[in-house]
Amino acid sequence: MKKFIAAMTAGVLMAAPAGLFGTSTDKAVPFTVSAADTAAAKPVLSLPDIVISPEDAAANRDVMVSLTVSDAFKKYATVEIWTVFDSRLTIAKDQSGNPAASSGDALRLLKSYLRPSAYYDQSEGKLVDLNGVRLIAAGTANYGLDGTLFTVKVTLPENVKEGDRFPLKFFYADKSTTNNNFANSMFNNIANDEAGQQMQKWVFENGLKEGCITIGDAPSASYGDANCDGKINVSDAVAVLQYASNKLKYSLEAQGLVNADVDGDSGITGSDALVIQQVDAGVLKQSDLPLGK
């Protein structure tokens, strides 16, 4: 009876919904292509950095966490992403035991499912729960978009204090990491061709930006000073443009991320760089930032 329950559990957790991927989930796509940095498409998957004051955390322990994707517009069709949240965080569940999460706008043209990040270790004969969300999505063409992949509510533990950190991470799932033939991290195009495999290799080797929930006071902004050198000039605009083009290669400090968002719209883009250039040229003053305040 125990073996039957274990086998049934493994099937429920690891089998993708029928017909979703066809035979492509029988094994992970082998990385036999050339170096990842030759990939034409270089998407970035990002988990958020969230700062919550101790007072706000005491008043409301629920936090919304979103996984986002950029630089991938209509370049992907099959997705399996495993996230792992700090074990002290409680993920909201529905009546079926799946994460009470919602798929985002980036997947509106694909069929998607949200499941626990859990697998049955066939060698050890045990269930492993990673305390995260496993996203599965697929479509009939490269209909995946940029934007939010999913959003889920997590609950902080009681009595959090200043300085507490709750990491939000990724897990690369394949047979070598799970001892399970059905666990496959994927981010591929519909053709599963060289371009798709290069993109997939890039994502899992270079394109994962992990996040964290931190209990503390959010840093005050010195708007326009993206590189945190105490000045506002063209170097800040360049730093913003580089960050917008490749968030992993040209990262900004946490304070820099706050300082760089100056155009009045959420997110850091080339528009913020243009505003900073206008400050450098004297067209705008730092006191005018952020625009629309």
Give the architecture (CATH level 2) of 2-215: Sandwich (2.60)
Residues 257-270: pLDDT tens digits? 889 999 988 788 89
Give the pLDDT of residue 27. 35
Q: Note the pLDDT of residue 36.
A: 57
3-state helix, strand, coil in the chain (%, to 5): 25, 30, 45
Tokens of 81: 């992403």
Residue 143 has pLDDT above 80, yes or no: yes
Task: Give this prediction's pTM.
Answer: 0.73
Q: Where do you find CATH 2.60.40.680 in the chain? A: 2-215
For residue range 173-216, list pLDDT tens digits in order.
Answer: 999 999 998 999 999 999 999 999 999 999 999 999 999 999 99
Kindly tell me if the per-residue pLDDT of 33 is higher than 80: no
Question: Element (H or E) spanning 165, and its range?
Answer: strand 165-171
* Pairing of β 186-188 and β 165-171: unpaired
Residue 257 CB partners (closer than 8 Å, separation 6+) = 49, 268
End-to-end CA distance of the chain: 64
